[in-house]
Structure 1
Amino acid sequence: MSDGSWNRVPIEPQSVNAPLSASAIFLVVTIGESDEALATARSVVADMGALVRTVGFRDLNGHLSCNVGVGSQAWDRLGQSSRPAQLRVFPQIPGAAREDGTHPVAVSTPGDLLFHIRSERSDMCFELERLLLDALGDSVTVVDEVSGFRYFDSRDLLGFVDGTENPTGASMWESSLIGDEDPEFAGGSYVVVQKYLHDLRAWELLSTDEQERIIGRTKPDNVELDGDAELRPSHKTLNTITDANGVEHDILRDNMPFGSPASGEFGTYFIGYSRDLWVIEQMLRRMFMGDPLGSYDRILDFSTATTGTTFFVPSNVVLESLG
């Protein structure tokens, strides 16, 4: 939890805390260099609510939503007089050495705008993305697009339940939304996205017991393992962030599996929302570098990060003002 108390005044956040959905599209684009491209992007982003309503009214039970995130460099280009306190470019993180001398790396990749589209219906996600890209036209270049799906009982393609540690109730708001510690941007959130590709063949050669030791939970029933019994820190342990005062800090994940059996591509799209960007950055440093140093997250022997970008998701009021 952050030191600043969360602002209880209505601040119209975007749908950061929407329930986990059945389908999602993660769309990352860069904005062209021309003034015309920037003007088009500003106009579309500021009117995002209208696009969502255009598609969403067809089936209110589809719960269509779209969060818009703005990258650090794009924020400056939009001509804002001030910046969110923690907004910065995603830092590439070189991992600790493996036994074969190679290193897992949390790569840093370009991205000016993130569109996190969610719905209970994949066709609604598709239609909103289609209209969005039509409106943006050649003002942007798509640098990454991933269509995710909810897999059975919220499992990833490694077979484990994902998102177990998500905060709930009031803790969800406290962990994911900026409060009065940065009042101009209250109701906003920092978000980090990474696309991970899995080597499922190698993963499936492991015994269930070894998989469980790597993750830190049992596979069938998602019971947390005793950390004291771990031979080295598990994925769960490395992702638990506690500050010098013993206070644990949470983030809100909405990870989604994705893949194509025909092309042999299988992965997890990590997306983490946080009131404090440093919490996610510390999680990733612990995963890739290890804590203690060298004891990196063994899941990285089977999962490779191919993207990594940081965005700020402003409140709806600030988002509309960008236009």
Structure 2
Amino acid sequence: MSRADSRPSRRAFVRATGAVAATGLAAGCETPAARPGRPPSAPPGTGVTPTGRHQAGITLPQPAQSNLLAVVADLDEAAAPGPLLADLGNLVRTLTAGADPRLLGLPPGDLTVTIGVGPRLVRTAGAALPGAADLPGYSREEMARQARGGDLLLQICAGDALLLPVVASALLAQAGDRVRERWRQSGQRGPVTTVGHGVSAPRNLLGFVDGIVGPHTTAERRRHLWLSGPAPVAGGTIAVVRRMEIDLPRFAALSVADQEAALGRRRATAAPLSGGTAASDPDLGAKTPDGRYLVPADSHVRRANPRAVGVGLMLRRSYSIDQPAPGLLFISFQNDLRTFTRTLAHMEGSDALLRYTTTTAGATFLVLPGFDEQLPLGARLFA
């Protein structure tokens, strides 16, 4: 049996995954600090409203909750997506309000549920719509058939890990026989570190601070994160979800200098190897006196740099995992799938960090625009 065939039962509670959070390949972060042009954060100690122009669980709350459970499922061919999504959206409102008995008395706290639909469903609404393209295959993948693709993404995040399987159970019960689960993955993030300019980031599974680069301001998010159209998808975004195992013993056997060369940043301070602070942009042209790049040619910072690739920014909301093996549940949000595909294509041949990873599950989803009591989830796309 492939490693990707293994998944916990629906009733299994989330395992604790250690104090470190999302890994080097892409741990994303949001910051609680305010700065000019930044969107507002959710007030501390309160719930996160599930309604509005955008779904919660992407840019709010800030910082991201410490626990996540992602469930990927397929829609039965006889089931209509519109009514299902409307039912799920209504349930999300009652769950986050603490008004559903299926919470079993647990307070919802900062619970968010973010729902996306896969390319097959998007194509039924329009083959040219954002989100209609499948995620291509890449090297260093070992995926079982059911671990590639999917029709439905349920991303459940909360500070309280006990909520995750309870909420997943309620959502799947509401869907009933209209959906069939493919796989699920739980994960955890650790505390974040302030790196400057109103940006904070967690230390990743490899020991490095990561997630510094991303669309942090309102203007950046308008340009790189949210879909502006067509009308049925405006306010949504495109998600990429990939589960990756990391060979920690092999990476840990490297010297600190070799680890830093693979990442392109100092492990202790997160400063790029070209100099400055953690908040400094890496100087990709800087060289040593003998002509070597200070940020090595095969370093992750260089190979994944959006300026070097020629793409926009992606917002990453990734979580570290310890089952089925130590690694990362990589989750990125962007308004153009090519932001991800071109970045990974640029990394594939020579990113030193990829030598320590194996991807065991992957899919892309159109994260639906926001909803409210008058406009059900998915109503504009699946009328």
TM, length-normalised to structure 2: 0.68
**Structure 1 residues 195 and 136: alpha-carbon distance in aligned structure 2, compared to 1, 3 A threshold:** same
Q: How does 1:11-50 map onto structure 2 within 5 Å?
A: 12-15=53-56, 16-18=58-60, 19=62, 20-33=64-77, 35=78, 38-39=79-80, 42-50=82-90
Q: How does 1:234-253 map onto structure 2 within 5 Å?
A: 234-242=299-307, 249-253=312-316
Q: How does 1:1-323 map onto structure 2 within 5 Å?
A: 12-15=53-56, 16-18=58-60, 19=62, 20-33=64-77, 35=78, 38-39=79-80, 42-58=82-98, 62-76=109-123, 79-80=124-125, 83-85=128-130, 87-94=132-139, 104-105=140-141, 109-153=148-192, 154-170=202-218, 171-180=220-229, 182-226=230-274, 227=284, 228-242=293-307, 249-260=312-323, 265-289=325-349, 296-317=350-371, 319-321=377-379, 322=382
Partners of 2:125 and 2:311 in 1: how far apart?
Answer: 33
Partners of 1:229 and 1:89 in 2: how far apart?
Answer: 37
Tell me the CA shift for residue 173 of structure 1. Answer: 3.6
Secondary structure at 1:161's aligned position in 2?
coil
User: Deviation string for 1:95-142 (max 9, x for gaps)?
Assistant: xxxxxxxxx348681211111111222122222111011122333222
Unaligned runs of 5+ in 1: 1-9, 95-103, 290-295
Partners of 1:309 and 1:216 in 2: how far apart?
Answer: 28
**Structure 1 residues 280 and 232: alpha-carbon distance in aligned structure 2, compared to 1, 3 A threshold:** same
Secondary structure at 1:232's aligned position in 2?
coil
Partners of 1:55 and 1:127 in 2: how far apart?
Answer: 10
**Structure 1 residues 162 and 27: alpha-carbon distance in aligned structure 2, compared to 1, 3 A threshold:** farther
Partners of 1:167 and 1:248 in 2: how far apart?
Answer: 12
AA paired with 1:310? T
AA paired with 1:26? A
Partners of 1:84 and 1:319 in 2: how far apart?
Answer: 17
User: Deviation string for 1:63-98 (max 9, x for gaps)?
Assistant: 21111111111223xx4256524530111124xxxx
Partners of 1:110 and 1:194 in 2: how far apart?
Answer: 10
- Give yes or no for contact 2:272–2:295 (8 Å, CA) kept in 1: no
- Give yes or no for contact 1:175–1:274 (8 Å, CA) kept in 2: yes
**Structure 1 residues 72 and 86: alpha-carbon distance in aligned structure 2, compared to 1, 3 A threshold:** closer
User: Deviation string for 1:208-235 (max 9, x for gaps)?
Assistant: 1111111111112211222431342311
AA paired with 1:194? R
**Structure 1 residues 81 and 230: alpha-carbon distance in aligned structure 2, compared to 1, 3 A threshold:** closer
Partners of 1:64 and 1:222 in 2: how far apart?
Answer: 30
- Give yes or no for contact 1:92–1:106 (8 Å, CA) kept in 2: no
**Structure 1 residues 313 and 83: alpha-carbon distance in aligned structure 2, compared to 1, 3 A threshold:** farther
Which segments of structure 1 move beyond 3 Å, counting only runs of 4 or more? 58-61, 105-108, 317-320
Partners of 1:203 and 1:67 in 2: how far apart?
Answer: 33
AA paired with 1:13? H
**Structure 1 residues 112 and 88: alpha-carbon distance in aligned structure 2, compared to 1, 3 A threshold:** same
**Structure 1 residues 111 and 82: alpha-carbon distance in aligned structure 2, compared to 1, 3 A threshold:** closer
- Give yes or no for contact 1:106–1:308 (8 Å, CA) kept in 2: no
AA paired with 1:188? G
Secondary structure at 2:94's aligned position in 1?
helix
Question: Which has a greater percent of helix?
Answer: 1
- Give yes or no for contact 2:82–2:378 (8 Å, CA) kept in 1: no
**Structure 1 residues 47 and 169: alpha-carbon distance in aligned structure 2, compared to 1, 3 A threshold:** farther
In structure 1, what is the equivalent of residue 20 of structure 2? none
Aligned residues: 287
**Structure 1 residues 231 and 238: alpha-carbon distance in aligned structure 2, compared to 1, 3 A threshold:** closer
Computed over aligned residues only, the root mean square deviation of the Cα atoms, in angstroms, reads 2.6
Partners of 1:173 and 1:21 in 2: how far apart?
Answer: 23
Partners of 2:126 and 2:341 in 1: how far apart?
Answer: 26
- Give yes or no for contact 1:167–1:251 (8 Å, CA) kept in 2: yes
Partners of 2:301 and 2:187 in 1: how far apart?
Answer: 23
